Amino acid sequence: MAKRGYHHGNLRQALIEGALKLIEAKGPTGFTLSEAAKTAGVTPAAVYRHFAGREDLIAEAARQGFEMFADLMQYAFDKGQPSALAAFEATGRAYLAFARKHPGHYIAMFESGISVNRTPELAAASARARGVLEKAAANLSEHIPESKRPPASMFSAHIWALSHGVVELYARNAGATAPFSPEDLLETGIGIYLRGLGLIEPDA
């Protein structure tokens, strides 16, 4: 039985929220559109008025996740100013915080197999999030001689990969154990990388 009182806009959002719960519980391929409708408290037919299939529903959840993620990364970057180092390190911590707080969105964004180029809106949201980290990397590395400076896109991709690895192995994988917290692993890993570029002192 569908819930009464849904308007067009919040029915669509209710479906997305239902899908996020299922994604978190069962993974991105572990549920059907009918289950998403049931979780949202609407009829299965209602889903198809908004989404052509499960992948479209997951893609919209991912888009919303990237928008939230970009906002959080921007907030972290701004909060770290005027120190380029503090701003850069804050974006790394924000990555881990987002994965902890919004696991359904995180899975939709990074583990669903949905391409960020599936829709222009999803691509734009993903690029905005990536752009914040690239800007932080560019600001931090601007004093490195150009001949020794990695492109900001490569610099930020290395940190993104490190952050993602820590999240996957130690923040979300209950079976993996480490003698240090995910936060400590990420902070020290970033520190080693920055020392390698000469951006922080060896004894800092």
- Per residue in 65-123, pLDDT (tens digit) is 999 999 999 999 999 888 888 888 888 889 989 998 999 999 999 999 999 999 999 99
- Predicted TM-score (pTM) of the model is 0.86
Amino acid at 191: G
Of how many residues is the chain composed? 204
Coil, strand or helix: which one is 107? helix
CB atoms within 10 A of CB 144: 14
Instruction: Write down the pLDDT at residue 41.
Output: 84
In a domain, 63, yes or no: yes
CB 8 within 8 A of CB 16: no
* pLDDT at 202 (0 to 100): 64
Exposed, middle or buried, 146 (CB in 10 Å: 0-12/13-18/19+)?
Answer: exposed
Distance CA 176, CA 157 (A): 24
For residue 3, the enclosing domain spans 1-51
Domain count for the chain, please give it: 2
DSSP state of 3: P
Q: Does residue 203 belong to any structural domain of this protein?
A: no
pLDDT tens digit sequence for 146-189: 888 889 899 999 999 999 998 888 877 655 666 788 888 888 89
